[in-house]
Copies of this chain bind each other. A is one copy, B any other.
Amino acid sequence: MTIRGEMLIGQQTVTGTQANIQAVNPATGEKLDPIYVGGSRAHVEQATELAETAYATYRETSLEERATFLETIASEIEAIGSELVERAMAETGLPQARIEGERGRTCGQLRLFASVVRAGEWLDVRIDPAMPDRQPMPRADLRQRHIALGPVAVFGASNFPLAFSVAGGDTASALAAGCPVVVKGHSAHPGTSELVGQAIQKAVKACHLPEGVFSLLFGAGNEIGQALVDDPRIQAVGFTGSRSGGMALMKTAQARPQPIPVYAEMSSINPVFILPAALKARGKELGEAFVGSLNMGAGQFCTNPGLVIAVKGPELDAFTEAAKGAVEASGAQTMLTPGIHSAYQGGVASLSGATKVREIARGQTGGDYQCQTGLFAASASDFLASKALQAEVFGASSLIVECADAAEVKRVAEQLEGQLTATLHMDDADLDAAKALLPTLERKAGRILANGWPTGVEVCHAMVHGGPFPATSDSRTTSVGSAAIHRFLRPVCYQALPEGLLPDALKEGNPLKVSRLVDGKREL
């Protein structure tokens, strides 16, 4: 593969006409060649037109063809080899092991969706056979399957340059559903994006699919992204990024003549509740482990634990003391971009400056764009009185909320905004306390975990990486795991269609061998 500094529209490479984009190595401040020239509205239209054309064919590819395509993408990404790892490291400041791990996750995710496509659960086949003799009215034969929504716009995230970017979860699940994808690459890692885009482009060709199944655009500002969401051919949007960015896309999508769904994963501070018995039994150990989670990827995880909630007292003091030591020992880590670093500095400064907030510890200082871990504390009453203390600080920063008692812990839980995760640290003796909190946490978060840390999101069938607003724009969905495919599908019912006109998924004899709901009864 060669990095060319170009957009990929179908099988073409295209040079833009708008403002330049150039990646910066955040570890060195060095500008990375090549320069990418941003695309225009004409490029958006070219990509969406190709996607629209491809949709007709691609959505009806066989399960096997589509699964093979996803597997081919994974193989092509692996085939790029060390060039991809090196470029991603240079563009993000993330270490080699992390990038290699993320590449494994990305390819594993594509292969998971291949297996999901083959299994066919996503078709949600339902058959209600005809009842010609029913009184007073006969029933016609009724069959339901799900079909792809149409071309999907995907916005790559900065913090996972592979797993939530060009061939990340949104792209993999949309392609699995049968939707062509137009990606707006993140300006922080255009070279990584182009390399992965080329891998998808090769897979499209190798699998003899229509070229419009995939395109990759770049743009310096918001214009190209807004144009993409506004394009009448686009039928859904996947986005991972800031609350303001997600809200802007939601607004555009709703203002279209035909509104479309936006799946925006936006912000979360991932509260961690440490219940009394667990706190007493292992406050020190928890304090150290907490800082390990806090520092992962310089805190640049959507599931970073930005809030610790516990009852104050000597047990919490022991936790805080241990966390303090771990934070002070934390080496500075390079952040993804100068902009993210500057936002982090601003967020931490406003916590430091808040009169009701105590600074517990700061980590070691480092280079220009390095994150100096921050740990703060506030009383629950002050936290409850200040909405600002719930704002996400993207990076390794967390706030310990000290509660007077269990009732105040509950009040804090009740006042939280929607979250991706909520964590309970608990021992057997905490079971009743946990039971009392659980209903509130279920309303607030998409994933509830016990005795672990929210960072590290398993790609599997039961995962929910989603949650009530503002964690995401649509709490009914997940952006990680096999259920993410449902975001890009809609049901169609076929009534009394002759066998020759029925799609294979619905034919007599179940030729695709998929699980079906027949007269409301599950059949394997």
- A-to-B contact residues, CB < 8 Å: 56, 60, 101, 115-116, 119, 121, 124, 126-128, 136-137, 139-140, 142-144, 147, 149-150, 250, 254, 258-259, 261, 418, 426, 428, 431, 434-435, 438-439, 442-443, 445-452, 456, 458, 460-464, 466, 468-470, 473-478, 482-483, 489-498, 500-501, 515, 517, 519-522, 524
Contact = CB atoms under 8 A, between A and B. Distances in A.
Nearest to A489: B476
A476 B488 CA distance: 9
A132 to B, nearest CB: 13
A520 B482 contact: yes
A494 B448 contact: yes
A70 to B, nearest CB: 15
Given A442-B147, A524-B524, A126 B501 contact: no
A464 B128 contact: no
Contacts of A451: 496
A428 B500 CA distance: 9
A258 B468 CA distance: 9
A46 to B, nearest CB: 21
B149 A452 contact: no
A142 B446 contact: no
Contacts of A56: 439
Quickly give the copy total for this chain: 2
Leading 10 A-B pairs by shortest Cβ distance: A449-B495, A464-B493, A144-B462, A126-B462, A142-B462, A447-B493, A128-B460, A515-B522, A128-B462, A475-B490
B492 A478 contact: no
B450 A496 contact: yes
Nearest to A150: B443
A75 to B, nearest CB: 21
A261 B448 contact: no
A464 B126 CA distance: 11
B142 A493 contact: no
Given A60-B439, A116-B520, A466 B491 contact: yes
A61 to B, nearest CB: 13
Contacts of A142: 458, 460, 462-463
B517 A450 contact: no
Nearest to A465: B493
Given A463-B493, A464-B492, 12 more contacts: A121-B517, A128-B462, A142-B458, A142-B463, A144-B462, A149-B475, A259-B473, A431-B500, A435-B500, A447-B495, A448-B497, A452-B496
B496 A491 contact: no
Given A435-B501, A443-B150, A115 B259 contact: no
A144 B431 CA distance: 20
Contacts of A60: 439
Nearest to A475: B490
Given A147-B442, A462-B128, A522-B522, A490 B515 contact: no
A116 B101 CA distance: 43
Nearest to A498: B450
Given A435-B501, A475-B149, A501-B438, A448 B493 contact: yes
Contacts of A474: 261
A93 to B, nearest CB: 22
Contact of A449 (B140, B261, B442, B469): B140
A449 B496 contact: yes
Nearest to A500: B431
A149 B446 CA distance: 12
A426 B473 CA distance: 43
Contact of A497 (B136, B450, B501): B450
Nearest to A124: B483
